[in-house]
Amino acid sequence: MLTACGGDDKNTITFWTPLTGEDGSYMDQLVKEYNDTNPEIKVKHVITSDMYTKISTVLNSGKGVPDLAIIHADRVPGFVRQGVLEPMTAVMEAQPELKEDNYLPQAWTTGNIDGVQYTVPLDIHSNVMYYNKDLLQKYNAEGFLDDNVVTIDEMLSLQGKLEEGDYVVNDALLGWVIMAQIQNLGGDIQENGQPAVNTEAMKQAFLEVKKIADAGLMTPFGEDGYLMFQAGNVLFSTDGTWSSTAHASVEGLNFDVTNIYSTSADKFTNRASSHLFAMLKNDNRTDEKEQGIGEFLEFIRQNSMEWAKAGQIVASKQVIENPEYENYIQSFFTSNEDEIKSLYIYTYEYYPYVAEAVDTYAADIVRGNVDLDETLQTMQKFVEDKIAEGNTQGE
């Protein structure tokens, strides 16, 4: 079955993506629009659940490797180290507009390792903060947004002022929020290539966010804070750019978007990632297919307004500089240089392990269910063990 999905048909570019949500249908539409231009080699979009496991399987067997795939930014360093990505050099030579100047800077550079470009970006998708306009007005908190940075202290100022059942913020994508605070506090998740989880910055990030929960201002542990925001009981929801379509479908939800809350008004960070076009090593991929891939990526660069409908921050400057893009709520994050810079993509090779550790333990730490110092030690060991396991398997 995997072979049938692979890149063995010389007249078809097999294109794997992990877009199993609504975004998959937007990509289907983009592929259809490209194929309607009657290219020499058409593109076949294959939505692949558990894609990274399947990539590992086909690479090991050498059979059924897709011609093109979408991968996440944090996968690039590991894939390059394993030698499984084909550089985009020939594709870029054939399509000179596929170049750094035409894309958001961090989306482009995340695919550049040691001066070699391995990917071409589709988007940046980010942790963002939606707010309920009606509740902000009700609680006289609209001033929080004057500088586009809602601080933890501003949130704490609402303690004792909310009606029962209302909350200041939910715990959506809490791990992403913690990762943003590490940047706000001047920290990082690695030191000289080694994972740095059990650090003062990580501890401080958790303590700052924990203040909100301790004050009773965060949605209750175990309840769906995302749905509580949609029900109109939460001022701020820290979910993703991609959620804007779902929020927009809720009747009567009067909302807009701003940056993730911060420890201080001086610095704000929106932890982000990126969907990137990449070519996995594949001996069967012909020069003609590489040319065809270049034509497809150039089409996407010029015509990916459709992708904005999926709630994504499109990476192509041609699209985001088009006045039509301002109709999309996420255009806020490309409205000026400071906003663009706030979209922070971690490029540490072992970031996926660090993220897994943070996501696993964040809720319990913030709610005070576990000892912070002990849990940071556990998280550090978790990441170190994962790295050691990966290295022994020659991942």
> 252: number of CA atoms within 13 Å, CB side?
6
In 3D space, the residue among 246, 245, 390 whose CA is nearest the CA of residue 306 turns out to be 245
Structure tokens at 338: 């400071």
- Report if pTM > 0.75: yes
List the one residue out of 266, 321, 242 whose CA is nearest residue 148.
Answer: 266
Structural domains for the chain: 2-122+274-335 (3.40.190.10), 126-272+350-392 (3.40.190.10)
Higher pLDDT pick, 392 / 345 = 345
What mean pLDDT comes out for the span 7-17? 85
pLDDT of residue 390: 79
Give the pLDDT of residue 371. Answer: 98
The helix or strand, by DSSP H or E, that contains position 101, with its residue range, turns out to be none
pLDDT tens-digit map of 314-344:
999 999 999 999 999 999 999 999 999 999 9
C-alpha closest to that of 297 among 56, 94, 114, 4: 94
Angle between helices 200-214 and 351-366 (to 10 degrees): 40
H and E: helices and strands count for the chain: 18, 18
Is the distance from CB of 312 to CB of 330 less than 8 angstroms? yes
Is the pLDDT confidence value at 6 over 80? no
pLDDT at 263 over 60: yes
pLDDT (tens digit per residue) in 20-69 = 988 999 999 999 999 999 999 999 999 999 999 999 999 999 999 999 99
pLDDT band for position 391 (cuts 50, 70, 90): low
pLDDT digits (tens, 9 = 90+) for 128-158: 999 999 999 999 999 999 999 999 999 999 9
Q: What is the pLDDT of residue 378?
A: 98
Q: Chain-wide mean pLDDT for the chain? A: 95
The amino acid present at 163, given as its one-letter code, is E
pLDDT of amino acid 164: 97
Q: Check whether 216 has a pLDDT greater than 50.
A: yes
- For residue 119, with 0-12 CB atoms within 10 Å meaning exposed, 13-18 middle and 19 or more buried, which class applies? buried
Which of the four pLDDT bands, split at 50, 70 and 90, describes residue 392?
A: low
- Give the pLDDT band of residue 10 (cuts 50, 70, 90): confident
Nearest in space to 234 (alpha carbons), one of 129, 135, 159: 135
- Cα separation of 358 and 314, whole Å? 27
Task: Give the pLDDT confidence score for residue 354 in this predicted structure.
Answer: 97
Q: How many residues does the chain have?
A: 395
**Which pLDDT score, from 0 to 100, does residue 1 have?**
37
**Percent of the chain at pLDDT exceeding 90:** 94
pLDDT at residue number 4: 42
pLDDT band at 9 (very low <50, low <70, confident <90, very high): confident
Contact between residue 217 and residue 168 where contact means Cβ atoms under 8 Å apart: yes
Task: Convert the pLDDT of each residue in 167-201 to its tens digit.
Answer: 999 999 999 999 999 999 999 999 999 999 999 99
